[in-house]
Structure 1
């Protein structure tokens, strides 16, 4: 069989797997110098060796890995993706009832996304939104997704809401603060689409306090904003009265090394 793109191969194999009642996972992908997929291996989701990642041997976490060998290999030849290897034999039973709940088959439709967005803007808790969807569908078994899939979508949607308009409002606020006091310092990091990645700010009082009380500074990333899920981390020092004082603050989109290097 031949396909025009790797996306077509993935879509076809997922449809085949859903009909034959097993899950799909990507085992291997090789890309060429141009960054496009050149070779890929798609297989059963129960393939691979079972390993217990929980250190507590008294309460091991169950695993569904059975070293299943069912897979396909596709290779890009002359602009077409050709299937070079096909194994359709599974070493485990297939469950037609649970096939729609495999990770590769779970999908939140556009209609459900609109409901989740509306409820989230109205400050309705996710568990109540999901229960309303269950009642509308007539039971959990009639929904092709879980509550955690809805939470994942809302977390991504909250990040996108703070887009160009949100950055503009924040910049206007910082401009007003700098106009009132030139010592107000801000620094913003935007992505290629103009969305906010990271922001740092310090008012004149905090900057002056750092000049005197910089002997010990704490840096905490355990605070999270409820709306956008961007970790908020204050720089806090201690004055000569033993009181905590704010030396600076920042919000970041992720907690990786590149972000922390930019911040410090």
Structure 2
């Protein structure tokens, strides 16, 4: 691709050259106009690179681990786990999208899509926000749809592998949300470390060394902090009044000048 920005004279008049010339590229890509938009060209080249990247990644993955139309699964969770394992190898996160249930609660069909599917809705309050959150949706079309209308088992009826964004490298796949999960054993270890006064970051580092690295841990320090916050909130809800009263009594024992008053209704 050559971009000529030089000015020149034609028939004694001054002309400006802003036309892009392409070598070895099909001229039917933009058939409606001879004027080429640089942004369209850049988006087209990025799409081609992403498509080639997915093809290369598929060449490195076992063919049995790549979803295909006609694959059958016993349950919806089994299909989700299969697609999530495939997403881990490719380098993206997934989520559950549209689905249809019958009256007895059975899920007839379900779509598992890339977490970058769709676009973020516009908020009228955005004009008052100084620092916006990073954009996480890019209209990605990658998905896997399952259906159990005909054979009673969940069958893959549609699979789109190509993304509109670059996937992450394999050593960063464990950071995606769909690949992070706290097991009951890990939750118990976090509770034990917290009761001993060990900080969440230190306990995560200790657990990561035990499994051979953070990529094998299955969660990140933020998940650990969120778990502890949720547990403490739940405990407070179960006996919030009694917990506050015990805390005030403890403060009074430690500080003789501290006092509090309790009011009862009625």
SS at match of 2:98: strand
Q: Indicate how the Cα distance of structure 1 residues 8 and 142 shifts in structure 2: closer, same or farther if over 3 A, else same.
A: closer
Q: In 1, Cα distance between the equivalents of 2:92 and 2:131? A: 27
Q: TM-score, normalised by structure 2?
A: 0.55
Question: Which residue of structure 2 lines up, in the alignment, with residue 72 of structure 1?
Answer: 144
Structure 1 residue 15 corresponds to structure 2 residue 15? no
Question: Which residue of structure 2 lines up, in the alignment, with residue 246 of structure 1?
Answer: 263
Question: Which residue of structure 1 lines up, in the alignment, with residue 96 of structure 2?
Answer: 26
Q: In 1, Cα distance between the equivalents of 2:107 and 2:246? A: 38
Cα deviation digits, residues 38-96 of structure 1 (max 9, x gap): 21111111111134656334322111210000111111224211111111111111112
Q: In 1, Cα distance between the equivalents of 2:230 and 2:100? A: 28
Residues 3 and 82, structure 1, Cα contact 8 Å, conserved in 2: yes
Residues 50 and 67, structure 1, Cα contact 8 Å, conserved in 2: no
Residues 52 and 61, structure 1, Cα contact 8 Å, conserved in 2: no
Runs of 4+ in 1 over 6 A off after TM superposition: 199-202, 223-227
Question: Which residue of structure 1 lines up, in the alignment, with residue 168 of structure 2?
Answer: 95
Q: In 1, Cα distance between the equivalents of 2:214 and 2:118? A: 30
Q: CA deviation at 1:112?
A: 3.0
Instruction: Note the residue ranges of structure 2 that are not aligned, 5 or more in a row.
Output: 1-70, 248-259
Residues 52 and 63, structure 1, Cα contact 8 Å, conserved in 2: no
SS at match of 2:263: strand
Q: In 2, Cα distance between the equivalents of 1:118 and 1:126? A: 11
Question: Which residue of structure 2 lines up, in the alignment, with residue 116 of structure 1?
Answer: 190
| Aligned counterpart for 2:107 among listed residues 20, 26, 37 | 37
Structure 1 residue 83 corresponds to structure 2 residue 160? no
Q: CA deviation at 1:16?
A: 0.9
Q: Indicate how the Cα distance of structure 1 residues 136 and 201 shifts in structure 2: closer, same or farther if over 3 A, else same.
A: closer
Between the two structures, name the one with larger relative contact order (CA 8 Å, sep ≥ 6).
2
Higher helix share: 2
Question: Which residue of structure 2 lines up, in the alignment, with residue 176 of structure 1?
Answer: none
SS at match of 1:50: coil
Matched length = 179
Structure 1 stretch displaced more, 142-151 or 86-95: 142-151
Structure showing greater Rg: 2
Cα deviation digits, residues 92-148 of structure 1 (max 9, x gap): 111123211100011334553332121233344434433444566677566432222
Q: In 2, Cα distance between the equivalents of 1:100 and 1:43? A: 18
| Aligned counterpart for 1:105 among listed residues 179, 195, 201 | 179
Q: Indicate how the Cα distance of structure 1 residues 73 and 116 shifts in structure 2: closer, same or farther if over 3 A, else same.
A: same
Residues 51 and 63, structure 1, Cα contact 8 Å, conserved in 2: no
Structure 1 stretch displaced more, 87-96 or 77-86: 77-86
Q: In 1, Cα distance between the equivalents of 2:211 and 2:240? A: 45
